[in-house]
């Protein structure tokens, strides 16, 4: 394993999609890649061994939330986030800009940083861009995100412009606070739906020596067509030689569309959150397992799926577990959904290697394409 971060584009498709390879201190990640979300240091319901078995190479956690509970110093005392999670592969942490936006009634954003009142115990604090970097370095993660100001869908342009300027200023401050070379740092492009502001944000951030670049603020309630338009415009200014991360999206069809634009990394709560609510992803579309028609259905969730859930349990059995409130139902549903997403990414990478993207990738998406 390398003690440094590296990224290489192995092949580019005429569509714009890229096959690549990230190298981190905790192993390599083939891209395009999907990161299961483990906000508090755990992908809900699954053990690290199960994450290995469904094919996860990298997971995502959240630095702000971990700073609130159990605390960065506590995580460090326990050997770092990898030890806390029992996870031996790469970890990327979001700094918490989006989460702070979602807690708007508890925060006040100023140029210095974010004044907050903890949603855990009510204590008041200040979270600065320097604090975000230092916290993620103390956690020992492979990839850290710069602190950004994420604004809600529909925010007036003047307010979005202030957030872009503040995000760029915070990015420079965060980079200046770096002390740990083994932790890569990505900048986050903001700008709402405004193409001019997105270009301004990208120009400011790409002038700074980040290890990679993300596009944020596109999972805050905007219409799908707006997300697609902005994501397509935002990817162009990002350097070819650096990884490109589209934050917080999306459905299997979204992943196909955004991989074709040239994005390399993705995360989303959909496969895990929807699993706990009884919605499963299949090539034929979504399957709502609680529906009565599945009560005596002896078929697996998805014919031909190689996941543990489909190998051992019928739709009827899974429906019973979900309706009975048995934890196993949520675990099995999560296993299937993450297997579906990670298998999809493997199919995308195989198609890129073979030169059959996007046709083979669309077949893998099935009804979602």
Look up 94 and say whether it is catalytic. yes
Catalytic position from the list 13, 57, 94, 211: 94
- The neighbour count for residue 13, using CB atoms within 10 Å, is 18
Over its C-alpha atoms, the chain yields an Rg (Å, rounded) of 20
Rounded to the nearest 5°, which phi and psi values hold at 185? -130, 130
Residues 211, 242 contacting (CB under 8 angstroms): yes
3-class secondary-structure state, position 198: helix
Query: Cα torsion for 37, 136, 131, 64, to the nearest 10°?
Result: 20
Name which of 54, 58, 48, 56 is nearest 23 in CA terms: 58
CA 62 and chain centroid, separation: 10
Residues 326, 276 contacting (CB under 8 angstroms): no
Token pair recorded at residue 332: 């099995």
* DSSP letter string, 332-359: HHHHHHHHHHHHHHHHHHHHHHHT-TTH
- Beta-bridge partner residues of 288: 279
Report the alpha-carbon distance of residue 135 to residue 30 in Å, rounded.
27
Report the alpha-carbon distance of residue 293 to residue 21 in Å, rounded.
44
Look up 267 and say whether it is catalytic. yes
Token pair recorded at residue 33: 């890649």
Pairing of strands 114-117, 107-109: antiparallel
Token pair recorded at residue 230: 């902005």
Report the alpha-carbon distance of residue 295 to residue 234 in Å, rounded.
46
Token pair recorded at residue 207: 């002038």
DSSP assigned state of 366: G
Token pair recorded at residue 302: 């998805």
Residues 332, 300 contacting (CB under 8 angstroms): no
Among all residues, which ones are annotated catalytic? 94, 267
């Amino acid at each position: 394993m390398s003690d440094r971060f590296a990224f290489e584009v192995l092949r580019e498709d005429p569509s714009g999609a890229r096959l690549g390879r990230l190298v981190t201190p905790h192993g390599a990640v083939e891209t395009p890649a999907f990161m299961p979300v483990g906000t508090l240091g755990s992908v809900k319901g699954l053990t690290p061994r199960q994450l290995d078995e469904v094919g996860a190479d990298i997971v995502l956690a959240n630095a702000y939330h971990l700073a609130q509970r159990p605390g960065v110093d506590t995580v460090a005392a326990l050997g770092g986030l990898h030890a806390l999670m029992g996870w031996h592969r790469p970890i990327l942490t979001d700094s918490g800009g989006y989460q702070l936006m979602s807690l708007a009634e508890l925060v006040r954003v100023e140029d210095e940083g974010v004044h907050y009142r903890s949603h855990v115990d009510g204590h008041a604090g200040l979270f600065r861009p320097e604090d975000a970097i230092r916290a993620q370095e103390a956690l020992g993660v492979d990839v850290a995100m710069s602190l950004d100001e994420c604004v809600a869908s529909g925010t007036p342009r003047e307010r979005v412009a202030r957030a872009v300027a503040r995000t760029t200023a915070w990015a420079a401050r965060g980079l200046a606070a770096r002390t740990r070379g083994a932790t890569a740092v990505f900048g986050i492009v903001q700008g709402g739906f405004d193409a001019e502001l997105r270009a301004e944000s990208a120009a400011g951030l790409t002038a700074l020596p980040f290890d990679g670049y993300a596009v944020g603020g596109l999972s805050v309630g905007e219409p799908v067509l707006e997300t697609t338009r902005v994501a397509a415009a935002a990817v162009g200014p990002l350097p070819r030689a650096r990884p490109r991360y589209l934050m917080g999206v999306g459905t299997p069809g979204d992943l196909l569309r955004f991989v074709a634009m040239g994005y390399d990394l993705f995360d989303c709560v959909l496969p895990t959150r929807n699993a706990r609510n009884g919605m499963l992803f299949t090539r034929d579309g979504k399957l709502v397992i609680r529906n009565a028609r599945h009560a005596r259905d002896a078929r697996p969730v998805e014919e031909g799926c190689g996941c543990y859930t489909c190998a051992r349990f019928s739709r009827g059995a899974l429906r019973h577990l979900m309706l009975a409130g048995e934890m196993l139902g949520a675990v099995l549903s999560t296993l299937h959904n993450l297997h579906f997403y990670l298998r999809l990414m493997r199919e995308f990478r195989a198609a890129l290697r073979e030169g059959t993207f996007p046709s083979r990738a669309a077949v893998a998406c099935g009804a979602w394409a």
